[in-house]
Structure 1
């Protein structure tokens, strides 16, 4: 049995054949654990895009369900310290990482290394954790980035928008889409109440088509691509935020409207991840102020980075015009109220 006061080290090491690195394929290792519900993965880039003489190695935190629901730093990982390394024939490079900065905004930290001189030998990547809950040494083979086909996604793609197998028709701003009532009922409180007639708007919103075979719901203010992505989540529990025409904010708004709490939270976290010094004020004044929790998220980001945000053109423009915004005065007073304990010299 290990002494509780003794430092426990865990090393996870993976060998990459030179046939993979020679094609500059990005490599992901299998997932590994340093404790109860604490999972990690290594990501290796044989060539750094900005400097062809370097490679890149990242230590990625795989969030558990508890971590996906918070914007705070993931405290259970903070007690660890990690050293990532790359080695090959007559070659070794390493770098020590802090693990107290991992969060939904920063799931991966890494380092660039000068490439090994002789690329005809296998590359070994690894990480050693100090203060790990598990004493383990693992040697494994990496996997490439070829995605596995999700059987639920495949089934959904086959059934989705098939008029014959669905009984609800949505007339959207820029198209028509079909879905199954039984799935909508189970997955959304909004649709459950709508179809069961427990809302006064049911008769206004819900209609039958001429053949009485489909419910018809008119939604003129939502785009086809956004509504489709919401349905994809209801069918499969999968969501993609990589579609340029369907932003995290659009997903947040539709999830809020249709009372899909988990999707709303995922989108809220993604919005936080996309905040920058230059866009935070616009996000706050254009949309986020309408929802108290999202407004607080963006204001907290601004406060945390206030010295830099206040120097941006966006901040100066919005501050000069805030009184014309329907909630401008309230927003600025909230920002000022949170700045006072920080003793900033600010001027509205």
Structure 2
């Protein structure tokens, strides 16, 4: 047994004879020690509910579902409760599917990440790096209604012949508003 005193250590005789308690008149030993963690675990309490929820976005420590997105199967982490509350598609999927790892090969990583950011932050921005066809697929497939208002103007503002063909090729994932915009674009262009 090692007993620590300020600035030095001393081995107590009782440690040499573990079944004898000589030197301890009242059979009590008090040890005071300081426990240090190897990791910095300062706790940050967000000021608002939204700020608190947003800290959970892509948080591998607290997530209960992992999405492997795109051809490279890059991981994105999320919470079933949050996704179910914001999307009927996710609610239905999690009710019937207990998997914790879900493959999402049909959309790009950036588009799916933007969808999850919208779910967690209640706002998102879609940069020009995101494929508009992926946005269209996300809007319809994952049934997150408010994203439609954000994505469709973005898609319609970036139309070109190649994108129109891409979107029409995935026509089952194109909303009626977007289809109308595609038809109008085609009717105004001379190919």
Alignment TM class, shorter chain as reference: 0.5 to 0.7
- Determine the structure 1 residue equivalent to 2:168: 288
> Structure 2: how far apart are the matches of 1:292 and 1:233?
19
2: CA distance, partners of 1:192 / 1:270: 27
1:298 is the counterpart of 2:178: no
Structure 2 residue corresponding to 1:183, chosen from 82, 87, 92: 82
- The Cα RMSD (Å) is 2.4
How far 1:156 sits from its partner (Å)? 5.2
Q: 1:189 to 1:157 in 2, by over 3 A?
A: closer
User: How does the TM-score come out when normalised to structure 2?
Assistant: 0.62
Distance in 2, Cα, partners of 1:185 & 1:161:
16
Output the CA distance in 2 between the equivalents of 1:284 and 1:181.
Answer: 34
Q: Which residue of 2 aligns with 1:271?
A: 155
Q: Is 1:261 aligned to residue 145 of structure 2?
A: yes
Q: Which moved more, 1:171-180 or 1:290-299?
A: 290-299
Q: Write the distance in 1 (CA, Å) between the matches of 2:60 and 2:104.
A: 18
Give me the whole-angstrom Cα distance separating, in 1, the residues matched to 2:141 and 2:53: 23
- 8 A contact 1:252–1:263 mirrored in 2: no
Question: C-alpha separation between the residues in 2 aligned to 1:161 and 1:220?
Answer: 18
The answer to whether the 8 A contact 1:284-1:295 is kept is no
How far apart are residue 220 of structure 1 and its match? 2.4
Cα deviation, residue 152, structure 1 = 7.3
Find out whether 1:241 has 2:121 as its counterpart: no
Other-structure match for 1:220? 105
Offset from partner CA, 1:164-191 (integer Å, 9 cap, x none): 2111111223311110111111000011
Q: Give the match for residue 163 of structure 1.
A: 60
Per-residue CA deviation, residues 265-310 of structure 1 (Å, 9 max, x unaligned), is 42112111223xxx1x33332213613622221211343xx3xx32
Q: Which has the higher strand share?
A: 1
> 2:68 touches 2:76 (CA, 8 Å); kept in 1?
yes
1:315-347 CA deviation, whole Å, 9 max, x = no partner? Answer: 2xxxxxxxxxxxxxxxxxxxxxxxxxxxxxxxx
Cα 1:169–1:250 shift into 2, 3 Å: same
Rg larger in 1 or in 2?
A: 2
Bigger helix fraction: 2
Structure 2: 5+ residue stretches without partners = 1-47
Work out whether residues 152 and 236 of structure 1, in 8 Å CA contact, stay in contact via their aligned partners in 2: no
Moved over 6 A (4+): none
Contact 1:241 1:247 in 2 (8 A): no
Alpha-carbon deviations, 1:97-117, whole Å to 9, x = none? xxxxxxxxxxxxxxxxxxxxx
Q: Is the 8 A contact 1:172 1:218 kept in 2?
A: yes
Query: How many Å separate the matches in 1 of 2:79 and 2:133?
Result: 25
The answer to whether the 8 Å contact 2:114/2:126 transfers is: no
The TM-score with structure 1 as length reference comes to: 0.36
Q: What is the number of equivalent residue pairs in this alignment?
A: 138
